[in-house]
Amino acid sequence: MIPWEIEGEEFVNCNCDYGCPCQFGALPTKGNCEAVAGYKIDKGKYGSVRLDGLRAALLAWWPGPVHEGDGRMQVVVDRQADDAQRDALVKIICGGETEPMATVWSVYSTMCPNKVDPVFAPIDLEINISGRTGRISVPGVFETRGEPIRNRTTGKPHRARIDLPNGYEFLLAEVGSASTEAVGDMKLNFEASYGQFAKIHLNNYGIVH
């Protein structure tokens, strides 16, 4: 197994209500699951290939809950990446060189037998975890914007977090509101739904503690 490790930040938006039932072992809000994610890699490696400073994204869709499979997914990699870096990121996000089901990417890939060809494009990505704001923009593919959940009475930002000591994606995530429109090979559209802002630190065997 080629050793890899990625440390950075993520911004995720799915079609579920705030809180995302999947995080609690429950079924998705609307019966199926659709999601996009953007990843900012602060430090990373795949064997001898450095991944520092790169960005990547993921689009995924399932006809039902994730664990029932038959999903469809597409990886987007920063155009700035060279051929070796592109190959490394596609492999990692598609669950390659990873202990089965040890990371969110391995789970998603296993449950998505239908892979859309990866896209190599500019990724405009902004993530503010503590502020619960974010933006992912990939021209011709998708755009996602995130903001804090607002108190229905006062309009002030509402703060909630999800703590998963035994998770396979993050340990602690800030929860916000986000909206997505995907117009490329995968068509997705959801508004004011679950937004997730978190630090990630993963390798071949899951979360690095």
Residues 6+ apart with CB under 8 A from 155: none
How many CA within 13 A on the CB side of residue 203? Answer: 13
CB atoms inside a 10 Å sphere around CB 44: 24
The rounded distance, in Å, linking the Cα atoms of 150 and 170 is 24
Residue 54 corresponds to which amino acid?
A: L
Number of domains in the chain: 1
Write out pLDDT tens, residues 47-103: 999 999 999 999 999 999 999 999 999 999 999 999 999 999 999 999 999 999 999
Three-class secondary structure of residue 15 per DSSP: coil
pTM greater than the 0.95 cutoff: yes
Could you tell me which of 5, 8, 93 has the C-alpha nearest to residue 49? 5
pLDDT band at 40 (very low <50, low <70, confident <90, very high): very high
Q: How far is CA 86 from CA 137, 140, 177, 186, 189, in A?
A: 19, 19, 30, 20, 27
- Residue 76 is classified by DSSP as E
8 A C-beta contact, residue 197 and residue 128: yes
Write out pLDDT tens, residues 104-121: 999 999 999 999 999 999
Residue with tokens 């607002």: 150
Write out pLDDT tens, residues 125-179: 999 999 999 999 999 999 999 999 999 999 999 999 999 999 999 999 999 999 9
Please give the residue range of the domain that contains residue 185: 4-207
Instruction: Report H helices in 38-161.
Output: 83-93, 104-110
Three-class secondary structure of residue 88 per DSSP: helix
The rounded distance, in Å, linking the Cα atoms of 126 and 129 is 10
